[in-house]
């Protein structure tokens, strides 16, 4: 009787863990630190070049700042991303941890035409820091670009 109960317990445990993928679970649990979207109307081939800038004075609701610059042209687009903070001597601030960054570009039909994930970054406890990424040669038909930073302050 003891052996059959143990066998049933082991079978239930194995079946329960079979569908568990720790990588998927951690991706689902990542919190969005900040999300930005820039879009424009019209057809990229007909519209004049576009330049749009977002300045965020409280990146992720914390002590860092961010600047995003999206530019379109007839032949290609480009995206500049910057995040920084300056911590004064003796000032205590939490570490900024960015685990993942997703950049997605969509055409006027809502179809994904560009996707990349720049390298993540972090600024330590009470530490200043600077991070940037310049993405060149984006498809000229991007009508909407979304940038999502996953992470937290801790």
The model's pLDDT over 30-47, given as tens digits with 9 standing for 90+, comes to: 899 999 999 987 654 445
Is the model's pLDDT at 145 over the cut of 70?
yes
Please, are residues 142 and 116 in contact by the beta-carbon 8 Å criterion?
A: no
According to the model, what pLDDT value does residue 95 have? 97
The model's pLDDT over 5-34, given as tens digits with 9 standing for 90+, comes to: 444 443 333 334 344 444 444 445 689 999
Arithmetic mean of pLDDT, 122-142: 95
Residue from 153, 148, 151 nearest 124 by CA: 153
Residue from 100, 50, 98, 56 nearest 74 by CA: 50
The model's pLDDT over 106-115, given as tens digits with 9 standing for 90+, comes to: 998 999 999 9
SS3 41: coil
What integer best gives the mean pLDDT of the chain? 83
Q: Where are the alpha helices (DSSP H) in 71-140?
A: none
Q: CA angle at residue 142 from 64 to 48, to 5 degrees?
A: 100
Q: Where are the alpha helices (DSSP H) in the chain?
A: 2-18, 22-29
Residue from 151, 146, 152, 98 nearest 120 by CA: 98
According to the model, what pLDDT value does residue 52 have? 94
Which pLDDT band holds residue 48 (cuts at 50, 70, 90)? low
Is the model's pLDDT at 57 over the cut of 60?
yes
Domains and CATH numbers, the chain: 32-42+49-153 (2.60.40)
Greater pLDDT, 132 or 5: 132
């Amino acid at each position: 009787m003891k052996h059959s109960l143990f066998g049933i317990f082991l079978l239930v445990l194995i079946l329960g863990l079979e569908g568990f993928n720790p990588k998927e679970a951690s991706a689902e649990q990542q919190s969005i630190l900040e999300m930005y979207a820039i879009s424009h109307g019209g057809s990229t081939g007909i519209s004049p070049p576009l330049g749009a800038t977002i300045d965020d004075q409280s990146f992720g609701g914390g002590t860092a700042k961010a600047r995003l610059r999206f530019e379109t042209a007839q032949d290609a687009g480009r995206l500049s991303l910057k995040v920084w903070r300056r911590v004064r001597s003796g000032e205590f601030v939490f570490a900024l941890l960015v685990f993942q960054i997703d950049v997605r570009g969509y055409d006027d039909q809502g179809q994904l035409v560009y996707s990349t994930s720049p390298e993540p970054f972090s600024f330590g406890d009470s530490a200043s820091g600077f991070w940037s990424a310049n993405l060149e040669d984006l498809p000229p038909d991007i009508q909407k670009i979304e940038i999502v930073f996953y992470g937290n302050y801790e």
